[in-house]
Amino acid sequence: MSKKILLEHINVPGIETLEVYRSKGGYSSVEKALKTMTQDAIVEEVKKSGLRGRGGAGFPTGMKWSFLAKPEGVARYLVCNADESEPGTFKDRYLMEKIPHLLIEGMITSSFALGANTSYIYVRGEYFYIIKILEKAIDDAYKAGLLGKNILGTDYSLDLHVQAGAGAYICGEETALLESLEGKRGNPRIKPPFPAIAGLYACPTIVNNVETLAAVPSIVNNGGEWYAGIGIGRSTGTKLISASGHINKPGVYEIEMGITVEDFIYSDEYCGGIKNGKKLKAVVAGGSSVPILPADLILTTANGEKRLMSYESLADGGFASGTMLGSGGFIVMDETTSIVENLYTFARFYHHESCGQCSPCREGTAWMEKILHKIKDGHGTLADVDLLWEIQSKIEGNTICPLGDAAAWPVASAIRHFKAEFEDYVKNPSSISKVKHYHNMNNLATA
Amino acid sequence: MSEIKFDDNSLALVQSIIKRYPEGKQKSALLPLLHLAQAEFDGWLSVPAMDYVASLLSIKPIEVYEVASFYSMFNLKPVGKCLIEVCRTSSCWLRGANEIVDHIGNKLGIKPGETTADGKFTLKTVECLGSCGTAPMLQIGDKFHEDLTFDKVDSLLDEWSNKTEHSKYLDVNTFRKN
Ligand SMILES: Cc1cc2nc3c(=O)[nH]c(=O)nc-3n(C[C@H](O)[C@H](O)[C@H](O)COP(=O)(O)O)c2cc1C
Ligand code: SF4
Ligand code: FES
């Protein structure tokens, strides 16, 4: 049985209520932090834990926190990134829905550590039913004296509010999120300055993912060293993986970093193998933005070692033969899947979500969608495949924010690993129908 | 067409939302207020509705238009009473999203982006809604309908053809009044 930290109590009936959550030791990190620890001591524990940002970039959280500017008399903010819009990712939603007080506890403890007296949770607008759940939980926390003035009788005060987004993937990028929270279009800012120096309302601000903040209570309660002892190497602790696609048991799983990819896909504790007894064709391991890998490379590295669920192992081999852990959005594709059509859905997504500030991203994502549309419908040429490669290479590294890279990588990796399939689409369009409508209509017809 | 003015209950909520942000930063309330306006004024944001929100926040109308036009959840044109949003990104596509879209389109006699002649239904295709593990899925108002089958879709369409109210993402009770 693997280690559970975030989801330890997820199946306790009523765990979404303050009462039951507290009966399971909930909010003890607030007690401990506010009454027995200094702000610096908490930051130190988080550093020791090796916790890395769970929003996708994997930046060490304690280090980020230590960059926070603390000019005298200027407000500081903690903003939780609950925009969760990376295709394949649905773990933050799961946490907020099932155990909302864990995030609120993490926000209080973290806000105290950072010296923030007002904090916001920015939730994507499509999650309004989750916003309702969070608002209720926050209300209950206020009534219990865990939020508001003089929390638990100490001299620390914190107001916590939920902000609703309105449908824009780009608002998950932290500076776009801050623009949106200021009531503007979600156009990413040019960095530097980084939010830790000038963020919300130009004040020092830390932006962290839901899962990152939800890990803080356990670190404060048990110590950074304890957390660092879980997992493997520099991938400490546990990670929530959102598993979807052609598997027997889609869902959110908490894994200890370091289990094998093979175990994750095939064991009954996790995905339970490929649906309908089919063979594995490919996996997108960390949300739509990370390189797609064919079955052999996702299961074993180019060196022939078993690939592990960790930042380092998934990245082993660089982009030539590896990928990234990203947000942990694990999309599994069986042998019938058309890589070209799947890529088309990603290209359409990035085109739709580009904010339009940078020409390479705005124009490039539009071109990539168009070309893939043409190829998937059987009207492409070999020159189109080359052009696609050319375009993605010109976007990467030439934009204000990483959305440009995120749009380029799936295209590059699909061509790198599945070039023959693209060529098939071009040279032999009549073969396309075989893969095109493979969906088992019976699955949809039965309740 | 409803009159473009919030009732007292909504106005109280507006004041409570504005208080969530520091003095002078009331523009931060723009997204929540636009959501509220869309929910209260027939499911879309007309120019008078946006001007009204601008006046509540003491900002210029253009500051509202440029924001409303950026975000995909804000409808700048009228939509049917029931707005059906079907995800068709990768994980949903892998599990039959296109077939779901076709099925709904055939039943209603419309294509994605269109509204039925009786103004009941609008069909829209959207990108990943964070429900990939329960694909295929669609959203109506604030409700996610997951693990869709043709049967489930049919009963949803039946249910909504009998309703008179608009599908909504939120109502005045969604946000806490602090
Ligand atoms: C296009 C784009 C979309 C992003 N979407 C999200 C998101 O939905 N949630 C998230 O936590 N981080 C997202 N990020 C990463 C954030 O910019 C930021 O790194 C993160 O919120 C920091 O929190 P962490 O260090 O706890 O991961 C996105 C980044 C980019 C470039
Ligand atoms: S890379 Fe794309 S999304 Fe990011 S700022 Fe440029 S245009 Fe906008
Ligand atoms: S891909 Fe459809 S909800 Fe994520």
Under CATH, what is the fold of the domain B8-68?
Answer: Arc Repressor Mutant, subunit A (1.10.10)
Torsion of Cα atoms, B78 then B84 then B85 then B86, to 10°: -150
Mean per-residue pLDDT of chain A: 95
What does the pLDDT look like over A368-405, one tens digit per residue?
999 999 999 999 999 999 999 999 999 999 999 999 99
Closest CA to A25 of A102, A112, A91, A139: A102
B67–A184 CB contact, under 8 Å: yes
A362 lines ligand 2 (CB under 6 A): yes
Return the residue of A nearest to B127 by Cα: A349
C-alpha–C-alpha distance, residues A347 and A342, integer Å = 9
Share of chain A above pLDDT 70, in %: 96
Q: Which of B25, B31, B57 sits opposite A164 (nearest CB)?
A: B31
Interface confidence: ipTM more than 0.85: yes
Q: Which two tokens stand for residue B120?
A: 């009941």
Phi/psi at A57 (5° precision) = -85, -20
Return the residue of A nearest to B19 by Cα: A161
Reported as type and span, the H/E element at residue A206 is strand A205-209
A118 DSSP assignment: E
Count of A–B CB contacts within 8 Å?
A: 185
pLDDT band of residue A447 (cuts 50, 70, 90) is very low
B131 lines ligand 3 (CB under 6 A): yes
Beta bridge partners of B84: B123, B140
CA A57 to ligand 1 center in whole angstroms: 7
What is the distance in angstroms between the CA of the first residue and the CA of the last residue of chain A?
33
Q: Which residues on chain B are in Cβ contact (under 8 Å) with A352?
A: 72, 127
Return the residue of B nearest to A340 by Cα: B90
Quote the pTM value: 0.97
Range(s) of chain A covered by CATH 3.40.50.11540: 18-229
Return the residue of B nearest to A243 by Cα: B133
Q: Which residues on chain B are in Cβ contact (under 8 Å) with A84?
A: 130
Say if residue A436's pLDDT is above 60: no
Q: Which of B94, B127, B152 sits opposite A245 (nearest CB)?
A: B94
Confidence (pLDDT) at A305: 97
Ligand closest in space to the Cα of A401: 2
Ligand 2 atom 4 nearest Cα? A401
Q: Which residues on chain A are in Cβ contact (under 8 Å) with B59?
A: 183
pLDDT band of residue A445 (cuts 50, 70, 90) is low
Confidence (pLDDT) at B15: 97
Ligand closest in space to the Cα of A58: 1
C-beta separation of B161 from B2 below 8 A: no
Phi/psi at A7 (5° precision) = -100, 15
A165–B31 CB contact, under 8 Å: yes
Confidence (pLDDT) at A441: 45
CA A182 to ligand 1 center in whole angstroms: 18
Q: Which of B22, B129, B178 sits opposite A126 (nearest CB)?
A: B129
CA A85 to ligand 3 center in whole angstroms: 9
C-beta separation of A105 from A141 below 8 A: no
pLDDT band of residue A92 (cuts 50, 70, 90) is very high
Share of chain B above pLDDT 70, in %: 99
Interface mutation target, options A244, A327, A352, chain B, most CBs of B under 10 Å? A244
- Between vectors from CA A122 to CA B73 and to CA A11, what angle results, nearest 5°? 100
Q: Which of A142, A182, A245 sits opposite B91 (nearest CB)?
A: A245
CA A359 to ligand 2 center in whole angstroms: 8
Instruction: Report the half-sphere exposure of B178 (CA within 13 A, side-chain side).
Output: 21
Q: Which residues on chain A are in Cβ contact (under 8 Å) with B129?
A: 126
Which numeric CATH code is attached to A18-229? 3.40.50.11540
Range(s) of chain B covered by CATH 1.10.10: 8-68
Rama region for B113: left / alpha / beta (φ>0; ψ in -120 to 50; rest)? left
Mean per-residue pLDDT of chain B: 96
Confidence (pLDDT) at A267: 98
Its CATH architecture, for the domain B82-161, is 3-Layer(aba) Sandwich (3.40)
Which numeric CATH code is attached to A232-334? 3.10.20.600
Range(s) of chain B covered by CATH 3.40.30.10: 82-161
Range(s) of chain A covered by CATH 1.20.1440.230: 339-435
Confidence (pLDDT) at A433: 60
C-alpha–C-alpha distance, residues B144 and A226, integer Å = 38
What does the pLDDT look like over A216-269, one tens digit per residue?
999 999 999 999 999 999 999 999 999 999 999 999 999 999 999 999 999 999
What does the pLDDT look like over B29-67, one tens digit per residue?
999 999 999 999 999 999 999 999 999 999 999 999 999
Q: Which residues on chain B are in Cβ contact (under 8 Å) with A443?
A: 95-96, 149
Beta bridge partners of B123: B84
What does the pLDDT look like over B150-163, one tens digit per residue?
999 999 999 999 99
The predicted model gives A9-22 an average pLDDT of 98
Q: Give the range among A1-5, A159-163, B72-76, B119-123 with minimum mean pLDDT.
A: A1-5
Please list, in sequence order, all residues whose beta carbon lies within 8 angstroms of the beta carbon of residue B80, skipping any fewer than 6 positions away.
Answer: B115, B116, B119, B120, B121, B122
Interface mutation target, options A161, A346, A376, chain B, most CBs of B under 10 Å? A161
Say if residue A438's pLDDT is above 80: no
Please list, in sequence order, all residues whose beta carbon lies within 8 angstroms of the beta carbon of residue A199, skipping any fewer than 6 positions away.
Answer: A77, A79, A175, A178, A205, A206, A207
Task: Characterize the bridge pairing of strands A235-236 and A231-232.
Answer: antiparallel
pLDDT band of residue A437 (cuts 50, 70, 90) is very low
Q: Which residues on chain B are in Cβ contact (under 8 Å) with A245?
A: 90-91, 94-95, 132
What does the pLDDT look like over A42-86, one tens digit per residue?
999 999 999 999 999 999 999 999 999 999 999 999 999 999 999
Task: Characterize the bridge pairing of strands A251-256 and A280-284.
Answer: unpaired
Confidence (pLDDT) at A70: 97
Reported as type and span, the H/E element at residue A382 is helix A382-395
What does the pLDDT look like over B81-95, one tens digit per residue?
999 999 999 999 999
Q: Which two tokens stand for residue B98?
A: 């296109």
What does the pLDDT look like over A129-151, one tens digit per residue?
999 999 999 999 999 999 999 99
Distance from CA of B173 to the nearest CA of A (A): 8
C-alpha–C-alpha distance, residues A181 and A171, integer Å = 9
Q: So what CATH class is A339-435?
A: mainly alpha
